[in-house]
């Protein structure tokens, strides 16, 4: 058992941001199930405990549980709910990393979830049709966050084609349009809250790409906050940093090794810059398989 846990830890550490987000969502779901089983043995209902992590539509309940604006986007109502969201995150997350950085994806996951949650809360408090459900309605799931990633990818590269089962190749712009229209048309359904949150996530994805084009990044503040929290809990940051030791390599072999390393590094950087410039001018479809591979490997560094 310890070996399995060690392997999972190692995979998490070595994985990119998509893998890490999937691991976090699955871990939260599994812990919820384990908690239900353990407390169920003592006839304790865990439902009210987990419900305190769901996002309430009622503003007074939200004031009592403000953390839910974050926790809800890592919770899921069932295994199929989790599986669907994680498959979308895997597919579109990997594609997203061809065009943007890991930090962009991490930040957009949070910003998309926040904007989706805000749209849900505003709609339930503004529109009379939801008044009867206001005090009991809660939102749960990573759908808004995942849709933000998917829409951002479609806005960045609208003509990129994906293969859909029973349909064939479809351009991302048409796929994204279908998803948004579907959510708009089903706002009045039983899952109105979910569709409203999806629209908020879609708005975040569009805003992110358009903002980058104008020189500002809507995910910057979220990444700054997450980095600050990570430093607080980092063991390495709490320890006193050792004094830096400088070793001077005066040998000819050492100088040659440094020169070769720097030359190779510059060559890799120049190659990535060339590919990015080609991507900017001609689009993703113009890249060769080798160029796509290099770009994908560079995005993981």
pLDDT value, residue 242: 56
Residues 6 or more apart whose CB falls under 8 angstroms from that of 244 comprise none
Pick from 110, 112, 86, 68: which is nearest to 23 by CA? 86
What residues of the chain score a pLDDT lower than 50?
248
The angle at the Cα of 81, spanning 75 to 84, to the nearest 5 degrees, equals 115
Which structure tokens are listed for 207? Answer: 């805003």
pLDDT value, residue 189: 84
CA distances from 181 to 78, 91, 133 (A): 25, 21, 24
Phi, psi of 245 (to 5 degrees): -105, 130
pLDDT value, residue 273: 76
CA distances from 236 to 230, 239, 240, 251 (A): 11, 5, 8, 33
pLDDT value, residue 250: 53
Q: What is the DSSP string of 155-216?
A: HHSTT-EEEETTTEEEEHHHHHHHHHHHHHHTTTSTTHHHHHHHHHHHHHHHHHHHHHHTT-
Which structure tokens are listed for 194? Answer: 């979910």
Q: What domains can be seen in the chain, in order of their start residue?
A: 2-231 (1.20.1540.10), 251-299 (no CATH)
3 state SS for 203-242: HHHHHHHHHHHCCCCCCHHHHHHHHHHHHHHCHHHHCCCC
pLDDT value, residue 159: 93
The angle that helices 102-126 and 220-233 make with each other, rounded to 10 degrees, is 110
Q: Structure pTM?
A: 0.77
- CB-CB contact of 98 with 174 (8 Å): no
pLDDT value, residue 86: 96
CA distances from 255 to 107, 258, 269, 296 (A): 41, 5, 21, 32
Distance CA 105, CA 156 (A): 13
pLDDT value, residue 69: 96
């Amino acid at each position: 058992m310890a070996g399995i846990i060690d392997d999972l830890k190692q995979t998490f550490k070595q994985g990119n941001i998509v893998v890490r987000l999937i691991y976090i969502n699955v871990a939260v779901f599994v812990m919820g199930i384990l908690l239900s089983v353990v407390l169920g043995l003592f006839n304790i209902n865990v439902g009210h405990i987990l419900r305190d992590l769901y996002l309430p539509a009622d503003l007074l309940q939200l004031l009592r549980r403000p953390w839910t604006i974050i926790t809800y986007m890592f919770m899921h109502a069932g295994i199929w709910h989790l599986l669907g969201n994680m498959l979308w995150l895997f597919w579109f997350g990997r594609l997203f990393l061809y065009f943007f950085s890991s930090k962009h994806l991490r930040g957009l996951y949070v910003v998309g979830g926040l904007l989706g949650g805000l749209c849900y809360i505003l709609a339930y408090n503004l529109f009379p049709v939801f008044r009867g459900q206001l005090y009991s309605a809660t939102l749960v799931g990573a759908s808004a966050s995942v849709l933000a990633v998917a829409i951002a990818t479609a806005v960045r590269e609208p003509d990129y084609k994906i293969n859909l089962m029973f349909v064939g190749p479809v351009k991302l712009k048409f796929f994204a349009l279908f998803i948004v229209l579907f959510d708009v048309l089903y706002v009045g359904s039983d899952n109105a809250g979910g569709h409203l949150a999806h629209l908020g996530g879609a708005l975040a994805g569009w805003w992110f790409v358009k903002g980058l084009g104008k020189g500002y990044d809507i995910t910057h503040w979220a990444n700054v906050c997450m980095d600050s929290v990570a430093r607080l809990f980092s063991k390495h940051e709490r320890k006193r940093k050792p004094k830096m030791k400088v070793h001077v390599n005066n040998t000819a072999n050492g100088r040659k090794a440094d020169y070769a390393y720097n030359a190779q590094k510059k060559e890799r950087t120049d190659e990535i810059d060339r590919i990015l410039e080609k991507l900017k001018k001609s689009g993703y479809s113009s890249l060769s398989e080798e160029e796509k591979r290099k770009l994908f490997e560079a995005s993981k560094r």
